[in-house]
Structure 1
């Protein structure tokens, strides 16, 4: 994204529309998490977490009204709080102490318990989120821009019969399919997962316990088991 707000003019003051556009672009740039500021953290990029997927599909076209028809769950998320997508890598809570059900109530799992002042609340919305096709053996890929490392990852998958298009996600709906050991600080992690007996639409729920402090990421990825 380029901003030409400092371009010299031959004469006359800047027009109001041009000034308004310049302010808007500057505001958007200030929200982008990869701009070298301290807000860079991470998220699951494959299968894409809900807000990362929305940013990936619509970040360059987020005001397109066609999103409401083509991708309604992302549309409601953009309308609720665009910062949930611009800051796709900031969905975490500090100080959970490993007691995740206490920190993240049922129905609020995808927003990390309405963390960050409710920025990510739209990710708890029940409905037909876009899915990634996977098989029973798949790999969770996580991008860690800040190289926090991990004490461990927990990967859950919803039980067979749970319908995320009509039911809010609860801890009782999840089956733990992978617990890892430590990961040294890096920018990319891969977590191999094996399941059996799953088909159709599910949610993969990844809990990332970062190593640099008691900081935990709670990440929903919508999938379709083929």
Structure 2
């Protein structure tokens, strides 16, 4: 018998029945390995990946409310947004992103996954990563989906993500790529000028295995 690419070898008669029963149970249990895994921007860290990285081992610590209030509200709203930091995607967008992701909902992918990631749209002073004019977006793809393309945007100078919801009109395209073959890690070089202070880097990852699109907000400071 073959189940999830595991081959159960022939056994002696006394254990055959138990082995077959175990194999059937294996087939009935949903598989949770890399075939069901996805990915996110890990540098500069996406909002929920950063919250998971900083607080995943200490997410009930009340000190987070003062030290990292945007992550605190995200953990209180839905901890699964952090545990599933690699699952912020929509299926079937057909490239018409503004139609399925309204203004004010860009960081949650249009309130995808039944609203699991809604807290990522919350306006406020999210922790930032320091970047220079030239930086590299690094994305981890646990399932090796590959990419049809990546689009990287930076918010226009003057947009204040601590007080203003993110809109499509706030974004300026700074990098667009061709396809990437299946891999666990991708790097997208970005070259900018004229940015200073706090911004949002918005990365769109169009996966290759199906019409699956990731919408990822990373908070940065052009020091």
Give TM-score scaled by structure 1 length: 0.84
SS in 2 for 1:111: coil
**Which residue of 1 is the match for residue 85 of structure 2?**
88
Cα RMSD of the aligned pairs, angstroms, is 0.8
Q: Quote the residue 1:42 is aligned against.
A: 39
User: Corresponding residue for 2:24?
Assistant: none
The DSSP-based 3-state class of the residue aligned with 1:45 is strand
The answer on 1:111 being equivalent to 2:105 is no
C-alpha displacement at 1:39, in angstroms? 3.2
Q: Could you tell me which residue of structure 1 aligns to residue 67 of structure 2? A: 70
> Which of residues 177, 194, 217 is equivalent to 1:220?
217
Deviation of 1:36 after TM superposition, in Å, equals 2.4
| Pair 1:211-2:173 in alignment | no
Deviation at 1:38, TM superposition (A): 4.2
Cα offsets for 1:140-196 (capped at 9, x unmatched) = 000000000000000000000000000000000000001100000000000000000
Q: Which runs of 5+ in 2 are unaligned?
A: 1-31
Q: Which runs of 5+ in 1 are unaligned?
A: 1-34
SS in 1 for 2:107: helix
How many Å separate the matches in 1 of 2:68 and 2:178?
A: 36
Please tell me whether the aligned partners of residues 47 and 140 of structure 1 are also in contact (alpha carbons under 8 angstroms). Answer: yes
Name the SS for the 1:79 alignment partner: helix
CA distance in structure 1 between the partners assigned to 2:35 and 2:114 by the alignment: 18
CA distance in 1, matches of 2:34, 2:173: 34
Instruction: Indicate the residue corresponding to 1:19 in structure 2.
Output: none
Alignment of structure 1 residues 1-226 onto 2, 5 Å: 36=33, 38-226=35-223
Is the radius of gyration larger for structure 1 or structure 2? 2
TM-score by length of 2: 0.85
Q: For the Cα contact (< 8 Å) 2:34–2:143, is it kept in 1?
A: no
* Deviation per residue, 1:204-223 (Å, 9 max, x gap): 00000000000000000000
| Structure 1 outlier segments of 4+, above 3 Å | none
Q: How many aligned residue pairs are there? A: 192
| Inter-partner Cα distance in structure 1 for 2:45 and 2:33 | 23
Distance 2:184 2:98 in 1: 28
